[in-house]
Amino acid sequence: MNFFVIGVSHHQASVAVREKLAVAGIVDRLYGLWERGEDLSESLLLSTCNRLEFFAVSDRPELIRQVILDELTAVSGCPRVNLSPYLHEYADLEAARHLFRVAASLDSLVLGEPQILGQVKAAFREALKRCRVGMLISKLMHCSFRAAKRVRSETSLAGGPVSVAGAVTRLVLTLKDGDLSKTEVLILGAGPTAVLVLDNLKKKNPAALTILNRTRVKAEVIAQKYKINSRDWVELKSALAGADLVIAATGASELVLTEADLRETMGRRSLRPLIIVDIGVPRNVAHEVKYIENILLRNIDDLKEVVWESSLGRQEAAVRAEVIIEEEVTKFGKWLVQLAKQPILVALTRKAEGIRRLELQKTFSQHNFSSHQREVVEIMTGALVRRLLHDPLLFIKNSSPAEAGCVESGQACLNSIRRAFKL
């Protein structure tokens, strides 16, 4: 049994690439591989604004890998040769290490941000609901939760305000010279990230703060909680005309603000500049908007420089966190090899017991033993088999290739034992 992960993230792929895979139906499509009869034992899909990763368990990993690549190619509309450079792939312990780092926010755009662990847990719940989780992925996920918990409790990696919302706030303050007192802010969207951005920006005392969402009731609830303004979605154009800063953070699968929309808006604003920060994936704002005069457009990829500066103080904690990750990978590696050993332990025990039963049957058929004598012989032969198996079974259990995390060497050792005992 092999497991691996294949996907894209903010490290290799820009938002222009990631949004091609952030399309409606991709979750059903990838989970549907099992229903189509593909040789897939377990699977889990992790989808966030910064990554799309598919974890798979299969006896035919190369075949499943090609099937997944076909699906990603079809969904994105990109030829495989164009998509492949942006993909990352890890197998076995490297896949486990990658997941542990993701859950512990060591692989996040914002080092130490807490939201990713909740997203990993949500992905696990979805896979469980779809009955795609078996023993291996279940163990893998729970080990990732433990690794993340240790990193948060044993290091200061998450110390201080760390989140995409915090990075957006830092970016905005940089663009506005640290002063929002004369800035009218418009928030588009009412999801968790939009609310976090709203909360951060409100603390900076902007001149006005307004929220718009396609579902007006949801926007009104948030507006009442934060004591800000809310407007109906049909008022979007007039709201844009009065804003100085727009944060686009909707979960829409299509553009919310087109080039035509913004050209019309800017025509009503004279020379008043407009800053737009688009943190949606797929993007909420058309790329061409950046060419419109007096508009400054930034997207989620533009947060990297701000994030890099704010993460410098957490580098020492990150080093300690990496040590914790390695400790947890080693533990998982030991469990993985023990799991691989289990079939051979069972097979060897069954073979010895089968031989014992066959010889007892021959002996009892050739000699007239009393019931008591049969019982004594049963006990004696059973004890003899257990004594003979003790050292071989102990050797298999304690064989140490996995101590160094080498699953391949451990498998070679088990194959040798199978050949030796003709299992």
Residue 346 to residue 30: CA distance in whole angstroms: 35
Residue 175: count other Cβ atoms within 10 Å of its Cβ.
14
- Which two tokens mark 77? 């509309």
- Residue 48, CB half-sphere, CA atoms under 13 Å: how many? 24
Outline where 256-405 has alpha helix (H): 259-267, 303-311, 315-366, 371-398
Q: Active-site residue numbers? A: 49
- Which two tokens mark 250? 């909707």
Residue 76 to residue 213: CA distance in whole angstroms: 27
Question: How large is the angle between the packed helices 92-103 and 315-366, nearest 10 degrees?
Answer: 140
Helix, strand, or coil (residue 163): coil
Q: Which residues are 8's β-sheet partners?
A: 52
Helix, strand, or coil (residue 79): coil
Contact present, 417 and 344 (Cβ < 8 Å): yes
Helix, strand, or coil (residue 229): strand
Helix, strand, or coil (residue 51): strand
Positive or negative torsion for Cα 255, 164, 24, 236: negative
Contact present, 106 and 317 (Cβ < 8 Å): no
Strand 2-9, strand 88-91: pairing: antiparallel
Contact present, 207 and 228 (Cβ < 8 Å): no
Closest residue by Cα to residue 103 from 265, 337, 321: 321
Closest residue by Cα to residue 422 from 348, 354, 359: 348
Outline where 234-314 has alpha helix (H): 236-242, 259-267, 303-311
- Residue 420, CB half-sphere, CA atoms under 13 Å: how many? 10
Biggest alpha carbon–alpha carbon distance for the chain: 111
Contact present, 251 and 189 (Cβ < 8 Å): yes
